[in-house]
Structure 1
Amino acid sequence: MDRFDGAIAGLGTRSGVRLVVGMWRDSPLGPVTDVMMERPDGHRTLIAPTPTVADYISTTYTFDEVRVEPVALTVEGAGRLAVRTPSVELELTTGRRTAVGLLLTLVPRPLARTRGWCHLIDPAARLARPGVRTVGSAGSARREYYCALDEHQLTSASVRVDGHDPGPLTPVTPPVRFGFGSTPTRPTLVRVTTLIVEDTPGGAAGVP
């Protein structure tokens, strides 16, 4: 089982460019930050810091283009962070914890990080956050589990993509199409543990 601990930021822009940033402080690939981007015409791009990271992510999700570029993550103070690559520059500000985030913090972490819990809350996640799923295919006969632990709204974002400003922060609409589910429609930063396991026939949903 591969385990990724970190956070995912999802946001839209007025031009229709939507971005999903994975910030993994602990993973089988080491500390990793990656950027997934979908343009208004549906073109999906992955930006990854190394060929190894690009290969892993591109076998898990679907892209039309993969770019290998340096990706720098900087925490610039309370609630502020920046992600910079040669293609994309992001400055994000997080706000208060959402109501869903408050509920997530009440779940004991050992339980919240299990596959069984992800299976149990998947129907509720779909209702509370349209487009969001907590269990799905990771490709190559694998399953992926999103174990959400906390959620904060994004209150502002400064974005540049290939030297252009795609406009101010907006909801993530339409949903992104990289994998089996999208990020929440409201721009958010979700604290998450992601598990990727072999999809063995007859595997028990409740296995941690």
Structure 2
Amino acid sequence: MRVRYDGWILGTGTTSGTRLVVGHWPRSPLGPVSDVMVERPDGHRVLLAQTAELAEFVAGTYTFDEVQVVPVTVGRAGDQWVVHAGPLALRVTVGRRPALGWLLRTVPSPLARTPAWVGLLDPVARLAGVRTRGTAGNGRTEWYGVQDLHLLRAVSATWDGADLGGLARVDPPVRFGFGSVPPTPSVVRVTTTIGSSTAL
């Protein structure tokens, strides 16, 4: 059994050392949903999920020290993203599409989303420090079909009103599971396919 989450993944570090991964899914088996994975400088990993069903599924796929079900909103207008998720407030300015982004756009979307194509790209992706295919929690396998990529130009974030600082690399890498985000802050257009006999 396979399910698909279609949308965007945004990954960034902050100068405080907190790293953030936003999943914004307008199309999913659970309807339009969003979540944020947070890793603090001390390594504490937090999931902020919009619904209990999403929290259960994501926490069953990745590893967290803490899970919170909170209101999550993602607003996108032009090059601006505004994310509110419980204690987190995040504003992002999206920048240019690099050469890799232009290359990704040359692949027809129906092909780019297929697990077979994604599996072929995984050895190349590993050279960049990321993976497009791997085994996740509860016997699940995931395929990340990336179709576009933009770099981030600016970030501002707070946690319970405390400033997390500005834009920084995702370094050290986040530790939620096999999947990661590039060390360079970016946002990708992606279709995530999850295969499992127990998925949803």
TM-score, length of structure 2 as denominator length:
0.95
Counterparts of 1:26 and 1:162, CA distance in 2: 29
3-state SS in 2 of match to 1:166: strand
Aligned to 2:111: 111
4+ runs deviating over 2 angstroms:
none
**1:27 deviation in Å?**
0.2
Counterparts of 1:52 and 1:62, CA distance in 2: 16
The one of 161, 179, 182 aligned to 1:163: 161
Q: Deviations over 1:59-99 (max 9, x none)?
A: 01000000110011112x31111011231001111111111
Q: Does 1:9 align with 2:10?
A: yes
Q: How does 1:1-208 map to 2 (within 5 A)?
A: 1-75=2-76, 77-127=77-127, 129-130=128-129, 132-198=130-196
* One-letter amino acid matched to 2:103: L
Counterparts of 1:142 and 1:118, CA distance in 2: 16
3-state SS in 1 of match to 2:83: strand
3-state SS in 2 of match to 1:96: coil
RMSD: 1.3
Q: Structure 2 unaligned segments of length 5 or more: list them.
A: none
* One-letter amino acid matched to 1:145: W
* One-letter amino acid matched to 1:22: G
Q: Structure 1 unaligned segments of length 5 or more: list them.
A: 200-208
Counterparts of 1:59 and 1:198, CA distance in 2: 12
Count residues in correspondence.
197
Counterparts of 1:99 and 1:16, CA distance in 2: 28
* One-letter amino acid matched to 2:137: G
3-state SS in 1 of match to 2:4: strand
3-state SS in 1 of match to 2:180: coil
- Check conservation: 1:138, 1:196, Cα contact below 8 A: no
Q: What percent identity do the matched residue pairs reach?
A: 54
- Check conservation: 2:39, 2:45, Cα contact below 8 A: yes
TM-score, length of structure 1 as denominator length:
0.92
3-state SS in 2 of match to 1:16: coil
Question: Which one is further off, 188-197 or 92-101?
Answer: 92-101
3-state SS in 2 of match to 1:165: strand
Counterparts of 2:86 and 2:195, CA distance in 1: 33
- Check conservation: 1:61, 1:178, Cα contact below 8 A: yes
**1:158 deviation in Å?**
1.1
